[in-house]
Amino acid sequence: MASERKFVAENVRRVLLKEYLMKEVSRAGFGGLDVQRTPMGTRVILSTERPGLVIGRKGQTIKNLTTAIEEQFGFENPQIEVQEVENPNLNAQIMAEKLAFSLERGWHFRRAGHSSVRRIMDSGAKGCYIIIAGKLTGQRHRTEKFKDGNIKFCGEPKANFMDHGYAVAKLKMGVIGVTVQIMSKDAKLPADITVRGRTEAAEILPEIFEEGYVAPSVEPAAPEAAEAAPEEEGGQ
């Protein structure tokens, strides 16, 4: 198999694994998945809101998941590691699932969207962007957007600081897609500046605050000589 096809097949297998785990651990609050290859086998790091539901009584649930991952997806010697999400309100996937569940319970989409934005921003996020698309009020498709704070749509800040989550709400009129993007509270943007005090600045640049230090003088640029406009002689 060519290297390109092998690369594509591996990514397809990981996407199918993610969809399978999202369905199996939906009650526990799926927050993310990371698959790593190790010399001993495959390490599967599963982030959830309630790890106890994933482990199960006497570890039976996690054993069943390990067996399914090995038999259905062909991962060698999988080892599942369950991690608890510190702040579920700052996890985009968990918030997308909660928003979709609220829509399925009958919440109005505007109420659910504004409530989710307020909860995310109150938890310390720098920015939040929510898109709800589908048959919201009638037979025609429409899209509603809710946003607050700083949002990055492209470039390195989006790749490094924006967390992305997607979920689907199944209603009688059809399915509604929910997309949630959250900017981390620890994001350091290029426009952010920090004003330091004299004591902290002296620790960073001690040579400037030494006694007898003379700042280098900068001579102002010489003004250009103004060119006198020639006077026009009027003819008699």
Q: Exposed, middle or buried, 26 (CB in 10 Å: 0-12/13-18/19+)?
A: middle
- CA distance linking residue 42 with residue 213, whole number of Å: 60
Q: How confident is the model at residue 236 (pLDDT cuts 50, 70, 90)?
A: very low
| pTM of the entire predicted model | 0.73
pLDDT at residue 219, as a whole number: 65
What are the sequence ranges of the domains in the chain?
Answer: 7-85, 89-183
R_g (Cα) of the chain, nearest Å: 29
Look up the CATH superfamily of 7-85.
K homology (KH) domain (3.30.300.20)
First to last CA, the chain: 95
- CA distance linking residue 209 with residue 82, whole number of Å: 51
pLDDT tens digit sequence for 109-166: 999 999 999 999 998 888 999 999 998 887 888 999 999 988 888 888 888 888 899 9
Annotation: CATH topology of 89-183: Ribosomal protein S3 C-terminal domain (3.30.1140)
pLDDT tens digit sequence for 40-60: 888 888 888 888 888 888 888
